[in-house]
Amino acid sequence: MNLEERIQEVNKRIEEACLRSGRSAEEVNIVAVTKYVSTDMAAKVLDSGLENLGENRWQNAEEKWNALGHRGTWHFIGHLQTNKVKDVIGKFEYIHSLDRLSLAKELEKSAAAKGLVIKTFVQVNISGEDSKYGLAPEEAAAFLQEIQSFSHIKVIGLMTMAPFEDTAEATRMVFRGLRELRDDLNRQEVTQEPLTELSMGMSNDFEVAIEEGATWIRLGSILVGKQEGE
């Protein structure tokens, strides 16, 4: 399948998942993960009408951003090292991987210096896997309270990564856990404004994530392929 056909197929599957869960497809935003594809392919993704590009390392994104940064909306979706904050601030409108106080402080400092407000998701390790980054669910409320005064970071929601499972259904409890955590935090009024967004679901499990409330899904190979010409 070419890019256009893949996009059509993904949109169809999103609509079907929304129908099953009583949601509107307009509630679901696609981040096209372009970390494995060339700058030319990333340009084709933008040409296709997809507006959100996701990258997980500045080293991989730099060439693409220099060529295409004036187009689309850029999302940093990988683990962000504190010493790389200076590279991504002002280029990436969304950071999906806020997972520790030292990173929050550096984001606040760099964003303040540029007069920006960065939209962020707090990353939570719902599955408890040692290999995954993110706060433990029980740490989320205290962390959010701790960064409440950071006026250049706007936390809009939560993000998680599910384990890679043989069946997508096996990931359901992870996605449900993130939604329930967000709803609990909102009930407790931990943040000044309610958390509305859930960044969860990838190529192998995005339909289950949508059924459980995802508002941003991060799609790589199923959407853009792994390299140009796929």
The answer to whether residue 229 scores a pLDDT higher than 80 is no
| Predicted structure pTM score | 0.95
pLDDT grade for 227, boundaries at 50, 70 and 90: low
* DSSP state for residue 17 in the 8-state scheme: H
pLDDT tens digits for range 104-115: 999 999 999 999
Could you give the dihedral angle defined by the CA atoms of residues 128, 75, 116 and 62, in that order, rounded to the nearest 10 degrees? 120
Q: Find the mean pLDDT for residues 109-122.
A: 97
Q: Which residues contact 135 (CB under 8 A, 6 or more apart)?
A: 99, 100, 122, 123, 124, 125, 143
Using a 10 angstrom Cβ sphere, with 0-12 exposed, 13-18 middle and 19 or more buried, the burial of residue 212 is: buried
List, for residues 18-76, the tens digit of each pLDDT value.
999 999 999 999 999 999 999 999 999 999 999 999 999 999 999 999 999 999 999 99
Query: CA–CA separation, 76 vs 54, rounded Å?
Result: 6
Two tokens, residue 125: 């390790």
pLDDT value at residue 80? 97
Q: Which tens digits make up the pLDDT trace of 163-211?
A: 988 898 999 999 999 999 999 999 999 999 999 999 999 999 999 999 9
Given this model, what pLDDT does residue 230 score?
A: 37
Is residue 31 classed as helix, strand or coil in its secondary structure? strand
User: Can you state the angle between helices 58-68 and 39-47, rounded to 10 degrees?
Assistant: 50
Higher pLDDT, 155 or 168: 155
Strand partners of residue 157: 121, 197
Task: Measure the N-to-C terminal CA separation of the chain; round to a whole number of Å.
Answer: 8
